[in-house]
């Protein structure tokens, strides 16, 4: 009996100590100037004097929760580095940083946002995906930070517009990257190929690669978003970026003949076996393998492709603008922008704003541009330090008439999901026109339901 | 005082698991029923829409595709692993040299987490560098190995094979336990009466193993209905939903497309199907308990 009691007491003590250690915040020593009234005796009289003294007080660190989707090795390292830099510079804050796998993060974000104590700062996509949360009052208005940090002047108008709803700023866009067709210089040189600029040239390049036993285009569609890039580009090149964006916003129909033209062009590539076999067996990064070994010639990808390639082939890597199919059509490019926001229910808005101000500073953006080769949004970042690829990417986007984000960022996620299913099924059996029409009709009915369009 | 305490204490101890069970299992279950009648995006408050989700479900091609896949899974699960597991148990129940080693090897896949099995088999199935295709090509059986997980006709079966590989050892262990509990005198008596091996198996062992067989069947059914991990890791239901199962489809609807209400209605259907089998299982277990 006595032993039992002892055991219970022990258990309780252990539990309590666990809870207590969990609650104990980290502290820092801060020097504060304190004003005190002291009574001094001067010549027999008692006088009150106001004295200022420096005192050292023990202050609890302010805790800040930061969830990030930078889960690829290189961005993750940079992300952790930035958090450390922030804490070194502002020791009064203690950032609790969690990195969540990119795909999982997208799935968990609504649970984060609706929690009673959500993460204070989170990474996210600019544009429609952020707009949805802003409309649902889940993102904090940070116009004061934009004003206070001078971002209103320092950020290009386009990025400011991307972050604003009704004249208030909610989002901090920090970096963006371009999409392009990446290719292996050595493979092209070996076969005497030039980067194509028109569709006919592109088909010719594919044909030459194929004749020489190479896979013209690699792609991994296990996660289906890679197919979205092909739809985006074919649609923008054939029908123009305006039609594309209207389609994304639910204003145009998927049953439009113009959409069918996209699938016709796509079918040409599929029927000629220009894409890698068994694409659905690979993730986007697994599909890099034949590209690295030189068995595959090209890969339509965002510039984050660089994060996952071995350094040895960096010098052998180059990219070109997705070929022009109709010179009369305006040029649209995908250039997704990433950034940060503060949750509307943030428990530490002051700390969160301080962190956001730091993330949007020239210092951090310069660091990111150097370390990861992303393009910064802050005009204060010295553009002369950009490497050749960044300069070329910048020129690519500067030469575009219209910049889109990406298929699953420009339209609503549930429509994008169904759309990507259509792409996948089409990919598997491109000759089945009847089935394609049926799927597009289904997709369009759903588009109307989701967007509430006529 | 002492008596009161004695009566009160069991309830106190029971109260904790019951409360936990109510809060974490029963509560969410009813909440899921409620959600299935709503349209909810996970952010704004749920909108009540009656049975609209169910109406949509019955016209949803992917839902039926997933359901069919679950049924294919179920059909293979109640046959192949059961037969193989029983056969292995029969072989390993006698003193075979290295019997312990074989038992362990067959049970080993069960010890691995589903996700790990899925990843390992994902590599085995790799169309270009995977072990299976390398061997097939190396032996000159085929010129180019199939894309096990990227071919719409093969993907589901490729996953089911992994699930079966895992299940066989489990079924074997259950049958081994059943065989150990059979009184050897029955077998001797049958032998003395002139029964041959097949007759002993067919007329004595199999009926005596009946309680185990029922449990094995029901477990196989339930396991095949909740299939999720392997699909999620190996194909995510692709290509073009060809390997999708209900649990995976529900997950994608809920957390990829944020259609919580619709996902909840899939969950309810899955729950109702499972319920039938769970009742059979419980009924069987209770009956056994009453017998002893």
pLDDT in tens, A308-345: 898 888 889 999 999 999 999 999 999 999 999 999 99
- Chain A environment of B151 (Cβ under 8 Å): 278
> Rounded CA gap, A452 and B181, in Å?
65
- pLDDT for the residue B7: 76
In CATH, the number for domain A61-175+337-380 is: 3.40.190.10
Confidence of residue B214 (pLDDT cuts 50, 70, 90): confident
Ordered alpha helix ranges (H), A318-405: 349-359, 362-372, 388-398
User: Is the model's pLDDT at A47 over the cut of 80?
Assistant: no
* Class (C level, CATH) for B61-257: mainly alpha
The ranges assigned to domains in chain A are 61-175+337-380, 179-334+394-451
Average pLDDT on B4-26 reads: 86
Joined together, the tokens standing for residue A104 give: 């999982």
User: Is the model's pLDDT at A17 over the cut of 60?
Assistant: yes
Q: Would the CB atoms of A114 and B256 count as touching at under 8 Å?
A: no
> Rounded CA gap, A149 and A354, in Å?
10
User: Is the model's pLDDT at A24 over the cut of 60?
Assistant: no
> Rounded CA gap, A220 and A198, in Å?
25
Q: What's the gap in Å between the CA of A94 and the closest CA on chain B?
A: 29
The ranges assigned to domains in chain B are 61-257
User: Is the model's pLDDT at A1 over the cut of 60?
Assistant: no
User: What's the first-to-final CA gap in chain B, in angstroms?
Assistant: 36
φ/ψ of A150, rounded to 5, equals 75, 20
Of the candidates B152, B2, B253, B259, the residue with the CA atom closest to the CA atom of residue A435: B152
> Rounded CA gap, B24 and B17, in Å?
10
* Class (C level, CATH) for A179-334+394-451: alpha beta
DSSP 3-state of A46: strand
> Rounded CA gap, A424 and A435, in Å?
12
- Indicate which of B64, B258, B260, B263 best probes the interface with A, i.e. most A CBs within 10 Å of its own CB: B258
Helices A413-428, A257-271: axis angle to 10 degrees equals 40
Average pLDDT on B125-134 reads: 89
φ/ψ of A42, rounded to 5, equals -115, 120
- Beta-sheet strands, E only, within B154-261: none
- Chain A environment of B128 (Cβ under 8 Å): 278, 289-290
Q: What's the gap in Å between the CA of B146 and the closest CA on chain A?
A: 8
- pLDDT for the residue B215: 86
Q: Would the CB atoms of B127 and A413 count as touching at under 8 Å?
A: no
Average pLDDT on A75-86 reads: 93
Strand partners, B122: none
Q: Would the CB atoms of B44 and A428 count as touching at under 8 Å?
A: no
- pLDDT for the residue B3: 59
> Which of A348-357, A369-378, B21-30 bottoms out in mean pLDDT, i.e. has the lowest?
A369-378
* Rg of chain B in Å (alpha carbons): 24
- pLDDT for the residue A114: 87
φ/ψ of A67, rounded to 5, equals -105, 135
Residue A398 vs residue A59, higher pLDDT: A398
- pLDDT for the residue A287: 93
Measured between alpha carbons, how far is residue B100 from residues B106, B178, B184 in Å?
A: 10, 17, 21
Q: Would the CB atoms of B149 and A280 count as touching at under 8 Å?
A: yes
The 10s digit of each residue's pLDDT in A185-222 is 999 999 999 999 999 999 999 999 999 999 999 999 98
Q: Residue A413 CA to chain centroid, in angstroms?
A: 15
User: Is the model's pLDDT at B290 over the cut of 70?
Assistant: no
Q: Would the CB atoms of A223 and B240 count as touching at under 8 Å?
A: no
Q: Return the sign of the alpha-carbon dihedral for residues A346, A350, A353, A354.
A: negative
Whether the predicted interface score ipTM is above 0.90: no
Of the candidates A42, A26, A22, A448, the residue with the CA atom closest to the CA atom of residue A249: A448
Confidence of residue A268 (pLDDT cuts 50, 70, 90): very high
Task: Note the pTM of the prediction, 2 decimals.
Answer: 0.81
Cβ-count burial of B97 within 10 angstroms (0-12 exposed, 13-18 middle, 19+ buried)? exposed
Average pLDDT on A284-291 reads: 92
Confidence of residue B236 (pLDDT cuts 50, 70, 90): confident
- pLDDT for the residue A158: 83
DSSP 3-state of A60: strand
> Rounded CA gap, A398 and A316, in Å?
24
- Indicate which of A100, A225, A270, A278 best probes the interface with B, i.e. most B CBs within 10 Å of its own CB: A278
Judge whether A61-175+337-380 and A179-334+394-451 match in fold: yes
> Which of A15-24, A55-64, A412-421, A440-449 bottoms out in mean pLDDT, i.e. has the lowest?
A15-24
> Rounded CA gap, B67 and B61, in Å?
10
């Amino acid at each position: 009996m006595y032993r039992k009691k002892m055991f219970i007491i022990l258990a309780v003590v252990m539990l309590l100590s666990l809870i207590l250690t969990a609650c104990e915040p980290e502290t820092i020593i801060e020097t504060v100037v304190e004003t005190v009234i002291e009574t001094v005796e001067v010549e027999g009289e008692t006088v009150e004097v106001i004295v200022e003294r420096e005192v050292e007080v023990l202050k609890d660190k302010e805790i800040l929760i930061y969830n990030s989707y930078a889960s690829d090795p290189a961005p993750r390292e940079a992300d952790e580095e930035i958090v450390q830099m922030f804490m070194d510079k502002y020791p009064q804050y203690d950032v609790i940083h969690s990195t969540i796998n990119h795909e999982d993060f997208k799935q968990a974000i609504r649970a984060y946002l609706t929690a009673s104590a959500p993460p204070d700062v989170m990474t996210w996509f600019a544009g429609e995906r952020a707009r949805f949360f802003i409309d649902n009052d889940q993102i904090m208005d940070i116009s004061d930070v934009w004003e206070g940090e001078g971002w209103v002047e320092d950020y290009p108008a386009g990025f400011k517009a991307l972050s604003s709803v009704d004249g208030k700023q909610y989002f901090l866009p920090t970096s963006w990257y371009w999409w392009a067709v990446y290719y292996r210089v050595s493979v092209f040189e070996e076969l005497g190929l030039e980067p194509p600029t028109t569709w006919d040239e592109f088909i010719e390049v594919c044909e030459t690669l194929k004749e020489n036993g190479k896979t013209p285009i690699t792609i991994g569609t296990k996660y289906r978003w890679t197919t979205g890039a092909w739809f985006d580009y074919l649609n923008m090149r054939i029908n123009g970026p305006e039609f594309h964006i209207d389609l994304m916003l639910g204003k145009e129909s998927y049953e439009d003949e113009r959409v069918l033209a996209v699938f016709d062009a796509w079918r040409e590539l599929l029927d000629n076996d220009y894409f890698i076999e068994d694409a659905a067996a690979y993730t986007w990064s697994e599909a890099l393998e034949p590209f690295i070994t030189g068995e595959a010639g090209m890969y339509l990808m965002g510039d984050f492709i660089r994060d996952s390639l071995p350094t040895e082939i960096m010098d052998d890597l180059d990219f070109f603008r997705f070929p022009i199919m109709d010179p009369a059509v305006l040029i649209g490019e995908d250039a997704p922008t990433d950034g940060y926001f503060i949750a509307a229910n943030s428990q530490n808005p002051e700390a969160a704003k301080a962190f956001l101000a730091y993330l949007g500073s020239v210092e951090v953006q310069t660091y990111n541009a150097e370390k990861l080769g992303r393009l910064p949004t802050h005009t204060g970042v010295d553009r002369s330090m950009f490497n050749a690829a960044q300069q070329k990417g910048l020129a690519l986007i500067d030469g575009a008439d219209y910049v889109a984000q990406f298929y699953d960022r420009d339209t609503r996620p549930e429509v994008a999901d169904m759309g990507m299913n259509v792409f996948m099924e089409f990919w598997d059996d491109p000759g089945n026109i009847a089935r394609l029409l049926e799927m597009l009709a289904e997709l369009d009915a759903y588009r109307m339901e989701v967007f509430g369009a006529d | 005082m002492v008596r009161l305490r004695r009566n009160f204490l069991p309830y106190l101890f029971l109260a904790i698991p019951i409360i936990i069970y109510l809060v974490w299992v029963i509560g969410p279950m009813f909440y899921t029923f409620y959600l299935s009648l709503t349209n909810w995006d996970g952010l704004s408050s749920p909108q009540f829409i009656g049975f609209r989700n169910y109406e949509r479900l019955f016209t949803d091609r992917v839902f039926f595709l997933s359901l069919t896949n679950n049924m294919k899974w179920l059909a293979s699960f109640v046959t192949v692993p059961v037969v193989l597991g029983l056969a292995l148990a029969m072989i390993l129940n006698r003193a075979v040299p290295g019997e312990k080693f074989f038992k362990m090897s067959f049970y080993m896949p069960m010890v691995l987490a589903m996700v790990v099995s899925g990843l390992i088999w994902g590599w085995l199935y790799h169309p270009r560098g995977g072990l299976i295709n390398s061997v097939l090509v190396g032996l000159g059986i085929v010129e180019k190995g199939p894309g096990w997980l990227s071919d719409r006709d093969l993907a589901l079966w490729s996953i089911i094979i992994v699930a079966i590989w895992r299940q066989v050892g489990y079924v074997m262990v259950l049958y081994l336990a059943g065989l150990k509990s059979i009184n050897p005198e029955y077998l001797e008596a049958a032998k003395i009466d002139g029964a041959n091996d097949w007759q002993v198996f067919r007329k004595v062992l199999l009926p005596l193993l009946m309680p185990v067989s029922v449990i094995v069947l029901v477990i196989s059914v339930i396991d095949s209905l909740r299939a999720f991990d392997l699909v999620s890791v190996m194909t995510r239901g692709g290509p073009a939903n060809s390997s999708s199962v209900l649990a995976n489809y529900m997950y994608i609807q809920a957390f990829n497309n944020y259609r919580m209400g619709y996902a909840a209605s899939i969950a309810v259907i899955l729950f109702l199907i499972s319920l039938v089998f769970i009742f059979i299982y419980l009924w069987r277990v209770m009956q056994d308990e009453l017998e002893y």
